[in-house]
Amino acid sequence: MSDRKLQLIPLGGLGEFGMNSMALRYGDDIVVIDAGMMFPDSELLGVDIVTPDFGYLEQHREMVRALLLTHGHEDHIGGVPFLLSQIDVPVYGTAFTLALVERRLEEHDLLSTAKLNRVKPGEKITLGPFTVEFIHVTHSIVSAVALAITTPLGVIIHTGDFKVDPTPTDNELFDLHTLAEYGKRGVLLLMSDSTNVDRPGYTESERAVRPRFEDIFNRAERRLVISCFSSSIHRLQLILDLAAEYGRKVGFLGRSMLSVTEIAHGLGLLHIPDSILLRPQDLMQANPAKVVAVVSGTQGEPMSSLSRVAVDNHKHLSVEPGDTVVLSSRIIPGNEKAIYRMMNHLARRGADIVYGSTKPPVHVSGHASEEELKLMLNLVRPRYFVPVHGEYRQLAKHASLASHLHRQGLEQTFVLESGDTLEVDIHGARRGAKVPVGRVCIDSGTIDEVVEDIVIRDRRHLSEDGFVLPIIAISKQSGKSEALPEIVSRGFMTFDERSELLQEARRVVAKTLESSSEEERTDWGVMQEKIRADLKRFLIKQTSRRPLIMPVILEV
């Protein structure tokens, strides 16, 4: 066994936000930590979600022992259905995390075949040469865990997403003791969350939002509309408790909000006071001074409940002058325009909007800031360190944070990106050969609708230059065009019947037909290519633009 090596293979989430997935290989055994997704940026036209390319795992499917989930956020579990559609592998996670995964698998008709295994913090499982202990950590979602993975070469700690909350609202404290015990015994390698590395100090406790919410409940004279992430069970509990205290009824709006609150309540993680719930259809009939509407859609997603409320297009809720709208979430980079547009619509309806960095805060982060990241490094005192979860600048800054540990046994820090690998053996750690990774673009959220790069390229092409359809009617008997070709254009330029460019373009197509041999005219594939080439040349010369040209030949 002495010649065996341990490999870290990041499939996503390093050098980028989202799509978190890490494979850990020892010999012929692989465990995978998380399988996340990300939402597309604006250049991925018509794409709904993006997942890592799991080709490496598919190629080594016989070696994959398990998928280990750290918590239930989409950037860690959103890719699970797509991974399980490729390889049949057991999944381990806490009850709440797996309940959220079940919801996703049900959408893709995979729930009946999935092997889901519930674990609790403190529990250990053995998978081939790996022994995995699940360690409770605090985060913005309940039931989050770090992983301590014992391998033949030493212990690897993966923090998952975390912050060190000294006063969590559910009183489930961060298990610093177990991490410190591992640190005393010796840790081979630490992988730690880098999301908030550029924030100095400590991240505020979840309890820090209570004073601001108490003030909002105290001041609001009419209806309260509060939007937060549906997975923020701590925040939802606070809203329910304050609503009971101030004599208000609560109505939940939005598919994800209803689904997650039902799951959390069923698992005993969300406690709903008696007689406090209001049906969505009763929100507008109830006294506005006695109502709280909790609505999903904090990021201004076009079809989310809050976006529809903002433009008065929701069947159960309208915002009226004097209502208070609270956005209790962070603005995810890239969503600014959509969120501010939504807020403008709400302001036009006379709403008082509470958002952003207020003191006391209306939202706190779920990720560790600089001092907490230092605390994690000091507790674990690893031999090697790999920062994870963040863009390159954040990984690099996190690596520099660890430099003070070189006097305490830290031998080397590696800043990896997705596709880079790290190899560890009895002689030490070094960068290994790259593995092919990438992203898979999914349309409509269904497994079958993978969008190829060429499709995205065509969509970008259409968005910039439009398309032109030359329509040619050819006689079945003579093989000749019956009249001048028609030309239809969208997103390119306006053609009207008197347009000189249109008439010239029609003549170009007609000339191509006339100059073709009888044999060519009977081969529609050849004719389409000839028309496309000649018309493309003409339009580029006349307009300096390159529309997508799709000739249509009709036999009459």
Report the candidate in 416, 433, 411 with the shortest Cα–Cα distance to residue 188.
411
Q: Which helix (H) or strand (E) holds 241?
A: helix 233-245
Active-site residue flag, 465: no
Beta-carbon neighbour count of residue 386 at 10 Å?
Answer: 28
Using pLDDT thresholds of 50, 70 and 90, give the confidence band for residue 196. very high
pLDDT in tens, 63-105: 999 999 999 999 999 999 999 999 999 999 999 999 999 999 9
Please spell the DSSP secondary structure of 331-389, one letter per residue. Answer: --TT-HHHHHHHHHHHHHTT-EEE-SS-SS-S---SS--HHHHHHHHHHH-EEEEEEES
- Listed in sequence order, the residues at least 6 apart from 301 whose beta carbon sits closer than 8 Å to its beta carbon are 307, 338
Residue 148 CB partners (closer than 8 Å, separation 6+): 132, 133, 135, 155, 156, 157, 178, 179, 182
Of 75, 161, 193, 323, catalytic: 193
Mean pLDDT of the region 290-314 = 90
Q: Which one of the listed residues 363, 367, 389, 398 is annotated catalytic?
A: 367
pLDDT for 1: 41
CB atoms within 10 A of CB 84: 25
User: How far from 21 is each of 5, 13, 56, 113, 320, CA to CA, in Å?
Assistant: 20, 6, 12, 22, 44
Distance from chain centroid for Cα 425: 34
pLDDT above 70: residue 294: yes
pLDDT digits (tens, 9 = 90+) for 362-421: 999 999 999 999 999 999 999 999 999 999 999 999 999 998 877 777 899 999 999 999
pLDDT at 526: 75
The closest alpha carbon to 160, from 93, 86, 232, 95, belongs to 93
pLDDT-wise least confident of 35-44, 195-204, 251-260, 397-406: 35-44
Torsion of CA 159, 194, 424, 153, to 10 degrees: -20
109 or 405, higher pLDDT: 109
- Cα angle, residue 208 at apex, residues 202 and 210 outer, rounded to 5°: 170
Task: Reply yes or no on whether 420 is catalytic.
Answer: no
Q: How far is CA 363 from CA 72, 242, 251, 358, in A?
A: 19, 16, 21, 9
Q: At what angle do helices 255-266 and 233-245 cross, to 10 degrees?
A: 90
Chain segment 218-236, per-residue pLDDT in tens: 999 999 999 999 999 999 9
Higher pLDDT, 539 or 295: 295
Instruction: Give CA–CA dist 278/396, Å, rounded.
Output: 49
Q: What was the pLDDT predicted at 523?
A: 67
How far is it, in rounded angstroms, from Cα 270 to Cα 368? 24
* pLDDT given at position 458: 62
Instruction: Indicate the pLDDT class of residue 336, thresholds 50, 70 and 90.
Output: confident
Q: Does the pLDDT value for residue 498 go beyond 60?
A: no
User: What domains can you pick out in the chain, each with its CATH number?
Assistant: 6-201+365-451 (3.60.15.10), 206-354 (3.40.50.10710), 466-555 (3.10.20.580)
CA distance 516 to 480: 10
Question: With bands split at pLDDT 50, 70 and 90, how would you rate the model's confidence at 501?
Answer: confident
Would strands 486-490 and 467-474 be described as parallel, antiparallel, or unpaired? antiparallel
Mean pLDDT of the chain: 89
pLDDT of residue 406: 73
Summarize pLDDT for 429-452 with one digit per residue, the tens.
999 999 988 777 766 544 455 545
Q: d(Cα 190, Cα 192) in Å, to the nearest integer?
A: 6
Contact 333, 187 (CB under 8 A): no
pLDDT of residue 450: 54
What's residue 445's pLDDT?
A: 46
Helix (H, G, I), strand (E, B) or coil at 524: helix
**Residue 13's closest CA among 396, 335, 391?**
391
SS3 113: coil
Render pLDDT for 49-61 as a digit per residue (tens, 0 to 9).
Answer: 788 889 999 999 9
d(CA 541, CA 521): 26
The answer to whether the pTM exceeds 0.85 is no
Distance of CA 261 to the CA centre of its chain: 20
pLDDT confidence band for 488 (50 / 70 / 90)? confident
Burial of residue 170 (number of CB atoms within 10 Å: 0-12, 13-18, 19+)? middle
The angle that helices 370-380 and 176-185 make with each other, rounded to 10 degrees, is: 40
